[in-house]
Amino acid sequence: MANSTSFSSDVGVGFDVTSQGYLEMLGFQDYGGVSIFDLLQQPINSPPEILMVNTPTQQVSSSVSCSSNEGVVNVDEENNNTRSVDVLVDEDDDDDDDDDDVDQEKISTNTTSKQLKPKKKNPKKQREPRFAFLTKSDIDHLDDGYRWRKYGQKAVKNSPYPRSYHRCTSVSCGVKKRVERSSDDPSIVITTYEGTHTHPYPMTPRGAIGIMPETAGFGGFSSGDTGGVSSFLFTQPYYQQLQPQQPYFQNHTPMPSLSNSLSFNTTNASTHLSSYSNLVQERRFCPSPSSTLLPDNGLLEDLVPFQIRKDEPKELI
DNA sequence: CGCGTTTGACCAGCGC
DNA sequence: GCGCTGGTCAAACGCG
């Protein structure tokens, strides 16, 4: 089942902070410490290091989430300012038999009997695509703009740090989030998102003024039926103080805090992401009431200077 | 009182 | 079948 290694399915975008205090975008493959996404030159104010890992299928996800224990994620400390992550991705048919539905089913039936959890109909448990972020931060629970309710905590094998389980508090929203610390590097927080928000991007008292349309996987992940396209939107609260003079931000950063939302759109793991433009196709911003996206270059447009963008990397491998 | 967290118990999947 | 581990539930509790 784990047809994992036949393709280079490492998907995702990482960010790192250079010694000069610039944000650096990283690929997820191990390039010997050399990032092919050294495109970004973005001044930041004490942001955490963030690595995002797209784990499009179920099997992978757990590997990624507890990857530090299983050697899936390699944090390359040798190269001071860059880190790389290897992600094993199993290609699995993503016939998402909605986890949300399963959850709802659980909830409804559970009211009768606490002890007897309804078994899932499918022999194989299908899960939403998961995306794992590696964040170098002292804060376990990074503010991503959504409200989460913790529903469990478990000790993780081979790790002194527990893993906490969170669920989006919005009704009928089945998005889950797991937070744990890397046992290898306690300063790294591994946040794994699973599912698709089924509600608009929430307003928060912290100044998130945007409301995300809920279409097209807004405000979270979506796994399209066709093509297995999954998208994830995340926010960068830590970057809210970004310097607006950056040319690639000037048109998009009027919003404080969570407004600086980025959406990655990645193809299914089966699709070899041979170019960064494939990886980052879409970007949606909160204030845009239109769910039909402007044809833009997505994250790339926001983060990568135009000049550099014109010279997109052809191959990531 | 509403909401979120804590925590022990239970269940499912997997490997042996 | 058994044990281990991850994931989830829900009562109890805390807090504003």
**Alpha-carbon gap, residue A266 to A5, rounded angstroms:** 18
**Nearest amino-acid residue to B10, taking CA and C1':** A115
Residue with tokens 């093509």: A227
**Alpha-carbon gap, residue A159 to A70, rounded angstroms:** 11
Protein-to-nucleotide distance from the CA of A180 to the C1' of B5, whole angstroms: 16
pLDDT attached to residue A193? 85
The contacts of residue A272 (CB under 8 Å, 6+ apart) are: A7, A8, A9
pLDDT attached to residue A54? 52
pLDDT attached to residue A128? 65
Strand C positions closer than 7 A to protein CB: 4-11
pLDDT attached to residue A165? 92
pLDDT attached to residue A131? 75
pLDDT attached to residue A135? 78
Q: What is the pLDDT of residues A115-170, one digit of tens each?
A: 334 433 344 455 666 777 787 777 777 667 788 889 999 988 888 888 999 988 87
A66 touches strand C (CB under 7 A): yes
pLDDT attached to residue A170? 79
Protein-to-nucleotide distance from the CA of A11 to the C1' of B13, whole angstroms: 26
A20 touches strand B (CB under 7 A): no
Helix, strand, coil content of chain A in percent (nearest 5):
15, 20, 65
Residue with tokens 């609260």: A237
Strand B positions closer than 7 A to protein CB: 3-14
The contacts of residue A6 (CB under 8 Å, 6+ apart) are: none
pLDDT attached to residue A133? 75
Average pLDDT, chain A: 46
Protein-to-nucleotide distance from the CA of A160 to the C1' of C8, whole angstroms: 21
pLDDT attached to residue A145? 75
Q: How many CB atoms lie within 10 A of CB A85?
A: 24
Q: Give the closest residue to A118 by CA, choosing from A130, A96, A101.
A: A101
Residue ranges in chain A whose pLDDT is less than 50: 1-48, 55-124, 203-317
A123 touches strand B (CB under 7 A): yes
**Nearest amino-acid residue to C10, taking CA and C1':** A114
pLDDT attached to residue A32? 29
